[in-house]
């Protein structure tokens, strides 16, 4: 299991030391929120750039924004590995093309109420599918176990269509929910509160792996 701690839950007054605490993570997940697509504002390109200069761990950037297209170039750093946009956002097809032009892996995310069926035409063009297991916008929400049906559907589609995207989930991930993720076919989990509020973040990451 790949683990991408969400920096959103970290103490931003001690950002460098917080990042050092998660040195065993596979990626660092950046939740970028515009206050329009979701009812919260987090941070933008400047803080993301600071994070990229603080660590060599690959960045898994999740744009929870209404209009991702004009923002793509501002999140292209040496350590950017994935840029994920929402299916429910604007100009998805052209934004996917733009991410590919930057030689960065593309992710597509769906909210809890969006069926997998809606993104089937895009699966051939993406490297990652992010299934939200909470309503996006705020950390600390309860895991929605029913979203594992979407994961199983994606596993089946990936096999049938001979595709190679990875399946990621985000929201309510902990040592209590990781097993159902694993058996359902999840490849990577995003964990915020569980990792950064743990007395030993490295141990929290190992427990998820």
What is the distance between the alpha carbons of residues 73 and 28, in angstroms, rounded to a whole number? 19
Q: Which one of the listed residues 11, 26, 31, 164 is annotated catalytic?
A: 31
Task: Measure the CA angle with vertex 19, ends 185 and 21; round to 5°.
Answer: 80
Mean pLDDT score of the chain: 95
Whether residue 141 has pLDDT greater than 80: no
Q: What is the pLDDT of residues 89-123, one digit of tens each?
A: 999 999 999 999 999 999 999 999 999 999 999 99
Helix (H) or strand (E) holding 30: strand 27-33
pLDDT band at residue 150 under the 50/70/90 scheme? very high
pLDDT band at residue 197 under the 50/70/90 scheme? very high
Domains defined along the chain, listed by start: 2-208 (3.20.20.70)
Instruction: Count other Cβ atoms within 10 Å, centred on residue 25.
Output: 25
Q: Which one of the listed residues 103, 170, 187, 200 is annotated catalytic?
A: 170
170: annotated active-site residue: yes
The pLDDT of residue 136 is 84
The pLDDT of residue 139 is 62
Whether residue 137 has pLDDT greater than 90: no
What is the residue whose two structure tokens read 């049906």?
149
Answer for the pair 38, 63: CB distance below 8 angstroms, yes or no.
Answer: no
- List, in sequence order, every residue forming a beta bridge with 191; answer none if it has no partner: 5
pLDDT band at residue 39 under the 50/70/90 scheme? confident
Contacts of 147-151 with CB under 8 Å at 24 or more apart are 147/112, 148/180, 148/181, 148/184, 150/110, 150/115, 150/116, 151/181, 151/184, 151/185, 151/186
The pLDDT of residue 40 is 86
Q: What is the pLDDT of residues 26-35, one digit of tens each?
A: 999 999 999 8
The pLDDT of residue 138 is 66
Average pLDDT of the residues in 116-133: 98
In degrees rounded to 5, what are phi and psi of residue 34?
-100, 0
């Amino acid at each position: 299991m790949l683990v991408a701690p969400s920096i959103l839950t970290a103490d931003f007054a001690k950002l460098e030391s917080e990042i050092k605490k998660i040195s065993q993570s596979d990626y660092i997940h950046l939740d970028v929120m515009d206050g329009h697509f979701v009812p919260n504002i987090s941070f933008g390109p400047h803080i993301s750039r600071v994070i990229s200069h603080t660590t060599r761990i690959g960045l898994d950037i999740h744009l929870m924004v209404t209009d991702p297209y004009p923002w793509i170039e501002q999140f292209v750093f040496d350590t950017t590995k994935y840029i994920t946009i929402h299916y429910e956002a604007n100009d998805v097809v052209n934004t996917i093309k733009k991410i590919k032009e930057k030689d960065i892996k593309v992710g597509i995310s769906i909210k809890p109420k969006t069926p997998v069926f809606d993104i089937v035409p895009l699966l051939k063009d993406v490297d990652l599918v992010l299934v939200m297991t909470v309503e996006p916008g705020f950390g600390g929400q309860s895991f929605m176990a029913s979203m594992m049906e979407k994961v199983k559907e994606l596993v089946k589609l990936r096999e049938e269509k001979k595709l190679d995207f990875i399946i990621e989930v985000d929201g309510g991930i902990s040592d209590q929910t990781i097993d159902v993720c694993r058996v359902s076919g999840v490849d990577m989990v995003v964990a915020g509160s569980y990792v950064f509020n743990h007395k030993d973040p490295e141990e929290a990451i190992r427990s998820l792996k």
